[in-house]
Structure 1
């Protein structure tokens, strides 16, 4: 046996020493973007101690390299490490590429809940995954209220639409993993169909300066960002489950992430939520339960040079509408306004009855990108969306199973973008968009269609430029043009058509006269331009100023143009207008940022002058076969909005911290010299937090939320004759509710579970003092109080 081992050792040694290790590898390390040389880069043969350092000309040589397949690792401070595999059977000479500057915006993170991206001239604020997990059972609109200047306009507590500096609905673009959401966003009671659990972070850009997304976002852009894949072999995930006392709700969200060293990745997310009737401080809000299912898969391949991505998501929501809000006529509205509690109150139930909404939304996206050396990055994308919206009225007989609103919206979008970033101080991005939409309003509902059948085509092109003149000055500019075409088929009542004066203004739109009805075929074109100019001035390591001016136009949406009839989930008649023009917004903002290791200040100020601002306002009542209903009409005026947002975060010690969010907006109808309707009042949110890492990462935050009374509101009250009582009464639908002050407390602890898993347990209490209050921007404030005290237990497991 000993002789055999000696022979084996001798033969092995002979093979090793006879291996050809006389070759050399030489080359030059250069920047991928602009081809400039990179000195002091480390070039190493992986899993060996053979390496070289590039010289002043970027050159290097590694001698005594053996035959075979080897992997070269190239690294440099401030660069993303690169690997290259080659076969050695002779001397090798080549060019080795490194990414010497990042295309991602710089993120500055302090101890607080919001981070600020600092490179652009417009204010962009980011909510991290840690913050979003706290809203696992809530909505996008709820989470965004963590950001100063962002509020919401609600229909109860389950339908929450984000509002940025007083702008909402079609004035805000929501981007879900690079896809612009198309989900009938025109309705106040149409919340974005988003599952927060599938997002890694959420960013908010205030104003219309982000022209790459569209010229019509005069309120801002909300970006839901997916997890950025890392090129390592790994498998990890987390599960969040929660329970809450108000609504006896429970939720479950789970995600699994698989990444591969070669660049492939797969992310899978699934969410389920269910809530019963919610409760005001001392009574149940009948028929306010909800149920939601969501699923998403995000898969692809990504290296620095190229990559592709496939994203598929589905979300389905069933949402009950407060039973007491479904009025049968103007008498019911008057009775509700004069009552301190809902006129219909039942015991708790999980049953979701009419009135309700059933909404489902599908997204399918394919994305591809390719980088070109010394030039930039090309991105191509196609996405498809389908939105199905059903709204059920309180109807009798078999009709109760037939929705009063049945809309199907399908959207096809194709985009192409090219980022020229070959030079460090310049970045130029240009792109184009083509989008086609088709909306079908089911005629089998048995009621007049609120929104007609239509086809919409959008074509857009844009260019943005960013130039860093020096370490202290950065300038950016953008230009965008969008063309929008509506092709509509709509029936009008002849009496309505003539009363609106359309028989004189638009006689050519009528294609068929049916006596009491007219079939029309409006074809509308809108040309929209946007310009953005901005600058960032770095005053010191801690202080900077942002300046931005944006001119943007937004065409009227389909509801503003063509609404015609009783909107059942809103319990009002809504009338659009064919005479509406595009809105024209001129917004100027100045932001001051101060940041250091223990504190952060951000003060945003803005003035937004909007010509032909579109809004909906009450104008008396209209009689239907079901009785008289409030009539709301879309109108236009010139408006001026000015305001400020303040965010302050301070870390007093390793254990104690404080944060403040405050905002105020002054909105005036400059044409009629009256306030603008539905604007958020003054708001202030303070929180003081304590954390101790030695106590299983214990943290506790006490939050004070103050919302003032909106004292600036237009008076759209009207007198109405009530036949049942033979009296004329004042219908007060304008006067805002009183100010309110709420307290909340959040507590969290972390525990180890096995070698690689952790459990986070959170216990939160909202409306700690069980305060009665009504929110001016909650459409159901006419009928009931907002939510009372709510205990929330959430368990998060990372594995």
Structure 2
């Protein structure tokens, strides 16, 4: 028996140690046959890649045996995505790239099969953080609101939460470092909790993604991709500085990353500081100031058939809670009321690669320490610690003909603890476990189908708090929630340039602790909230249709959705008052949301550098009794004229300029406790580019938002009911320097 075990061990070692293949070749421009430098060649599943040298050559070493997708991409050229069979010591593969005015495609990570967007059955929005910064975004929450179908519920400029097609808070799940971010996201006055430094891109799934992510993904997913490690045997470092005139804001970050053949390491630190912002009336909003410190680090190890990485993110925020336009100050330290938040995010991701399959194991731990300080009180009035451990295990089964299948298990263990005098939600423990399977069938170049099924079970146990019969009493809680969910998608390429997608998916959300247990004044909203311990699962089904036509110089798309939600949880006034505070109670009722996005993109020949883009978005939400849902974004249309210039000889030089007019319509489809919000238009202009100094590229950018200094208020601003308008004219300047 020992001999058998020893033989098996030798066989495994042989597959791990000796299956060290390599891929090499050259990449040239089609037509001219000239070599292309700095082209990216990348294996998404392996997270390995390289860039071409001046002569167009590349080489990637230590590749495992198997069939893996490779992506070849370069700005100004069509992206190539193809499967390559690695079954020999050295594989030679040359590529030729066709010039294209269409933007470079990226691999979508938030969906399970890591395909290009054009290959995906599910439509996913993608945005590069660099592009969001070029538009002058002050924070990450501010930046994502430029993506069609995405908005932000804001409290000033320091606190913002994503809204996807009218759903927010616990109905939208945020993923960072490959794990779910848990930070008491039920509260409107709780921000995103992630700094954009060290984030490479953001992907948005607009619709139920419970099949892939479980509870809380019924409205969509905001998936944040961390910056990649350096390529093997290379070292990179950079410094990035931004200044914002409106808030006299400073944002700076610096990072370094290095890699050998097997080890990888990165480190990035950031600091942000803003004074009170000025409205279009040139008045500073008292205590809208905030400070933020952020550190991101990572270490990885990779051999032929195994790779692992560990990442850690520490974020400290000190946020003022604005309530009025009072003392005009440029002080940077928040005054009371304010909140301090410490976020610790620790994650590990490991992959074991076999000849025809892959096992991925992702583990995560998050610690959210939230303290709120009030006037005339010593110490933190509210102090909550939320600690969450989660896991995600996925097995990519061997490909069987046209069929790709992934089987997985996910879950979390979460503890909430209170240490302050005030209490929003009780001490509680939450446990989740879910099992799922999803398959992709690629029939031919014209038809793809994706199907999946999932089961989840959640247990919530909360401690009693207070004295029975007295104000603020919270009874003990012990609830179980279960749900089956399914998804079916179909993508058809009816012609070379026309793509249609149809997706049907169900999703669910278990009620959160605030909805189940609240019984007291919520200081962040100035109302007395009463929970309902008998609330049921929210369960929805959404139909999503996406149509897209694209040729060399013209693109047009239209996305429509209809979202039917059973037992939608909402809060509404009861008409009573307790100690001067209006009483709001949580209830359930069926609801429907519907709407979509449409747009065009024109880049006319021969002016391929010139681009005109226009997009329109709309969403409506109603309860079964006909009342409108709260916090539904107003309809809007965004028109952008931009130019992009590239010079590929004599160094890496590029430039861009844009002018954008965003028109937001009046929002009069409002809930019972909202008021109509007037429409407005905002003008933005920006330019920037990359210049080469001493053989080193340097990025410069300048942009102006709300250039006409419009005094306006967003329907999703929580300061609207305090008579406080949004930020006025803001000029941002930025520079990025590699070291």
Q: Secondary structure at the match of 2:464?
A: strand
Contact 2:129 2:196 in 1 (8 A): no
Number of the residue aligned with 1:174 = 174
C-alpha contact 1:140 1:162 (8 A) present in aligned 2: no
Aligned to 1:390: 371
Q: 1:739 aligns with which of 679, 702, 706?
A: 679
Q: Deviations over 1:443-467 (max 9, x none)?
A: xx334x1111001111111111111
- Which of 617, 632, 650 pairs up with 1:663? 617
The aligned counterpart of 1:327 is none
What CA distance in whole angstroms lies between the structure 1 residues aligned with 2:628 and 2:72?
41
* Aligned residue in 2 for 1:473: 447
**CA–CA distance in structure 2, aligned partners of residues 202 and 559 of structure 1:** 29
Quote the residue 1:714 is aligned against. 671
Per the alignment, residue 437 of structure 1 pairs with: 414
Please list the CA deviations of residues 152-178 of structure 1 after superposition, one character each: whole Å capped at 9, or x if unmatched.
Answer: 111122111111111111111111021
> Alpha carbons of 1:470 and 1:245: their partners in 2 closer, same or farther (altered >3 Å)?
same
Q: Write the deviation string for residues 610-665 of structure 1: whole angstroms up to 9, x where unpaired.
A: 011112233345233xxx12333222111111101123322232332111221001
- Between the aligned partners of 2:211 and 2:405, the Cα distance in structure 1 is 13
Shift in Å, 1:84: 6.2
Matched, 1:774 2:728: no
| Structure 1 counterpart of 2:395, from 418, 422, 431 | 418
CA distance in structure 1 between the partners assigned to 2:149 and 2:381 by the alignment:
36
CA distances 1:166-197 after superposition (whole Å, capped 9, x unpaired): 11111111110211101111111112211212
- Corresponding position of 1:54: none
* C-alpha distance after superposition, 1:197-222 (max 9, x if no partner): 21121111111246222243111111
Q: CA RMSD in A?
A: 2.8
What is the CA–CA distance in structure 1 between the aligned matches of 2:263 and 2:295, rounded to whole Å? 20
Q: State the match for 2:322 in structure 1.
A: 322
Q: Could you say which residue in structure 1 is the equivalent of 2:163?
A: 163
Q: Is the 8 A contact 2:382 2:421 kept in 1?
A: no
In 2, the alpha carbon distance for the partners of 1:519 and 1:215 equals 24
Inter-partner Cα distance in structure 1 for 2:679 and 2:474: 48
Q: 1:760 — aligned with what?
A: 699
Corresponding position of 2:511: 556
Q: Which runs of 5+ in 1 are unaligned?
A: 1-31, 33-37, 45-79, 86-95, 325-341, 497-515, 717-733
Of the three residues 613, 627, 641, the one matched with 1:688 is 641
SS for the counterpart of 2:69 is coil
1:519: Cα distance to partner?
Answer: 6.6
Residue 368 of structure 2 aligns to a residue whose secondary structure is strand
Deviation string, structure 1 residues 242-264 (Cα, Å, up to 9, x no partner): 1111111111011212122x232
The counterpart of 2:534, out of the listed 569, 572, 579, is 579
How far off its partner does 1:136 sit? 8.4
TM alignment of 1:622-633, pairs within 5 A: 622-624=577-579, 628-633=580-585
Q: Pairwise mapping of residues 632-671 of structure 1 onto structure 2 (< 5 A)? A: 632-652=584-604, 653-670=607-624
Give, in whole Å, the separation in 1 of the partners of 2:206 and 2:482: 23
1:528 Cα offset (Å):
1.9
2:28 is aligned to: none
Q: Helix, strand or coil for the counterpart of 2:719?
A: helix
Contact 2:23–2:61, Cα closer than 8 Å, also in 1? no
Per the alignment, residue 99 of structure 1 pairs with 67
> Could you tell me whether the CA contact under 8 Å between 1:296 and 1:314 is conserved in 2?
yes
Please tell me whether residue 751 in structure 1 is matched to residue 691 in structure 2: yes
**Counterparts in 2 of 1:215 and 1:782: CA distance versus 1, 3 Å:** closer
- After superposition, the C-alpha distances for 1:727-751 in whole angstroms (9 at most, x for unaligned) are xxxxxxx212210111011111322
Decide which structure has the larger Cα Rg and report it: 1
TM-score, normalising length: structure 1? 0.77
Structure 1 residue 517: deviation in Å? 7.7
Residue of structure 2 in register with 1:356 after alignment = 338
Shift of 1:128: 2.0
Q: Secondary structure at the match of 1:284?
A: coil
DSSP 3-state at the match of 2:495: coil
Deviation at 1:495, TM superposition (A): 4.3
Aligned to 1:618: 573
Give the number of equivalent residue pairs. Answer: 650
C-alpha distance in 1 between matches for 2:486 and 2:136 = 37
Residues 278 and 492 (structure 1), Cα distance of their counterparts in 2 relative to 1, 3 Å cut? same
The alpha carbon displacement at 1:107 in A equals 8.7
In the alignment, which residue of structure 2 is the partner of 1:486?
Answer: 460
Change (3 A) 1:595 1:43: closer
1:587, 1:608 within 8 Å by CA — same for their partners in 2? yes
The farther-off stretch of 188-197 and 647-656 is 647-656
Structure 2 gap ranges (5+): 1-14, 16-20, 26-57, 74-78, 82-99, 107-115
Cα distance in 1 for residues equivalent to 2:137 and 2:565: 36
Matched position secondary structure for 2:369: strand
Deviation at 1:440, TM superposition (A): 0.4
Question: How many angstroms apart in 2 are the aligned matches of 1:665 and 1:113?
Answer: 29
